[in-house]
Chains A and B, each alone.
Chain A
Amino acid sequence: MAGRSVLRAAPLEEPLAGRGLSSPAGAAPLPNVLAAREARAARAWWVAALLRFSHQKVAMTAAGAVVLLVLIALFAPAIAPHDPAQQFRRDGLAASGLPVGPSAKFWLGTDGLGRDMFSRLVFGARISLGIGLSASLLSVLIGVVVGGTAAMAGGGIDTALMRFVDLVMSMPSLLVILLFVAIIGPSIWITIAVIVLLGWAYPSRVFRAEIMSVREREFVAAARAIGAGPGRIFVNHILPQVLPLMIVYISLGVPNAIFAEATLGFLGLGVPPPDPAWGGMIQTGTSYYRAAPMQVLIPGGAIVATVIAFNLVGSALRDALDPTIEDH
Chain B
Amino acid sequence: MTPSDRELTMPRLSRTVGFGRRAFLQGLAVTGGLMAIAPRIGSQATAFAAQTPQPGGTYRVLTNEQFGSLDAARAFNYMDWWISYMTLYNRLYQYDAGLQLQADLADGMPEVSADGLTYTIKLKPGVKFHNGREMTAEDVKFSFDRQLWPEVEAYGGSFLTNVVGYDELAGLPATPGAAVDAERSLTGVQIVDPLTISIALKQPQSILPGVLGIGVFGIVPKQETLEAGADWGTTTVIGTGPFKLSEWISGERVVCDRNPDYFHPGKPYLDRVEMELNVAPETAVLRWEAGEAEMIASAPPAELARIRGDATLAARIREAPSTISYRMQFSDKAPLYQDIRVRQAVAMAIDKESLARLSQNGVPVDSFLVPGIAQEDPEFATAYPYDPEAAKALLAEAGIAPGTKTIFWSGGTTRQLGESIQADLQAIGFDVELLVLEGSSLDVFIPRIQSGEIPLTSWGFGYDYPDGSEFLTIALQCGSTAGQAYWCDPAIDKMGEEIAALPLDDPGRTELLREVQRIAINEQAYLVPLYARNALILSQDYVKGDQLDPLLTLPVAENVWLEQS
Contacts and interface: CB of A to CB of B under 8 A. Distances in A.
Contact of A97 (B281, B358, B440): B358
Interface string B426-442: 10000001101011100
Contacts of B438: 268
B419 A274 contact: yes
Contacts of A284: 2, 415-416
A273 B305 contact: no
A86 B302 CA distance: 20
A89 interface: yes
Nearest to B31: A287
A121 B358 CA distance: 22
A278 B513 CA distance: 49
Contacts of B302: 98, 112, 287-288, 290-292
A85 B419 CA distance: 9
B300 interface: yes
A289 B419 contact: no
Contacts of A86: 423
Interface SS majority for chain B: helix
B376 interface: no
A272 interface: yes
B58 interface: no
B2 A283 contact: yes
Contacts of B418: 273
Contact of A269 (B358, B416, B419, B439): B439
A113 B305 contact: no
B445 to A, nearest CB: 11
A137 interface: no
Contacts of B26: none
B419 A113 contact: yes
Nearest to B4: A268
A267 B439 contact: yes
B37 interface: no
Contacts of B351: 89
A273 B422 contact: yes
Contacts of A97: 301, 305, 357-358, 360
Contact of A274 (B4, B354, B360, B422): B422
| Most B Cβ at <10 Å: residue of A85, A113, A289 | A113
Given A113-B419, A268-B2, A96 B305 contact: yes
Interface string B539-562: 000000000000000000000000
B439 A268 contact: yes
Contacts of B309: 96
Interface string B406-420: 000000000110111
B245 to A, nearest CB: 33
Contact of B3 (A112, A267, A288): A267
Contacts of A113: 358, 416, 419-420, 423
Interface string B1-18: 111100000000000000
Interface residues of B, number: 33
Contacts of B387: none
Contacts of A287: 1-2, 281-282, 300-303
Contacts of B360: 97
Contacts of B124: none
Contact of A87 (B2, B305, B420): B420
Chain A binding surface, main DSSP class: loop
Contacts of B300: 287
Given A87-B420, A274-B419, A284-B416, A290 B439 contact: no
B426 A85 contact: yes
Contacts of B357: 93, 97
Contacts of B434: 272-274
Contact of B354 (A85, A89, A272): A89
Contacts of A290: 282, 302-303, 306
A182 interface: yes
Interface in B483-524: none
A173 interface: no
A54 interface: no
A291 B305 contact: yes
Contacts of B440: 182
B308 interface: yes
A286 interface: yes
A85 B354 CA distance: 16
B335 to A, nearest CB: 22
A188 to B, nearest CB: 13
Contacts of B358: 97, 112-113
B237 to A, nearest CB: 34
A291 B2 contact: no
A273 B439 contact: no
A290 to B, nearest CB: 6
A97 B420 CA distance: 13
B437 to A, nearest CB: 10
Contacts of B308: 96
Nearest to B434: A273
B460 to A, nearest CB: 19
Contacts of A288: 302
Interface in B288-321: 300-303, 305-306, 308-309
Contacts of A286: 1-2, 282
Contacts of B436: 268
Interface of A: 85-87, 89, 93, 96-98, 112-113, 182, 267-269, 272-274, 283-284, 286-292
Given A113-B416, A273-B434, 17 more contacts: A85-B426, A87-B354, A96-B305, A98-B302, A112-B358, A113-B358, A268-B4, A273-B415, A273-B418, A273-B419, A274-B434, A283-B2, A287-B1, A287-B282, A287-B303, A290-B303, A292-B302
Sort A-B residue pairs by CB-CB distance and give the 9 closest, nearest first.
Answer: A291-B306, A287-B300, A288-B302, A291-B302, A96-B305, A287-B302, A268-B438, A98-B305, A273-B419
Interface of B: 1-4, 281-282, 300-303, 305-306, 308-309, 351, 354, 357-358, 360, 415-416, 418-420, 422-423, 426, 433-434, 436, 438-440
22 contacts: A85-B426, A87-B354, A87-B423, A89-B351, A96-B308, A98-B302, A112-B302, A112-B358, A113-B358, A113-B419, A267-B3, A268-B2, A268-B4, A268-B436, A268-B438, A269-B439, A273-B434, A274-B434, A284-B416, A287-B1, A288-B302, A292-B302
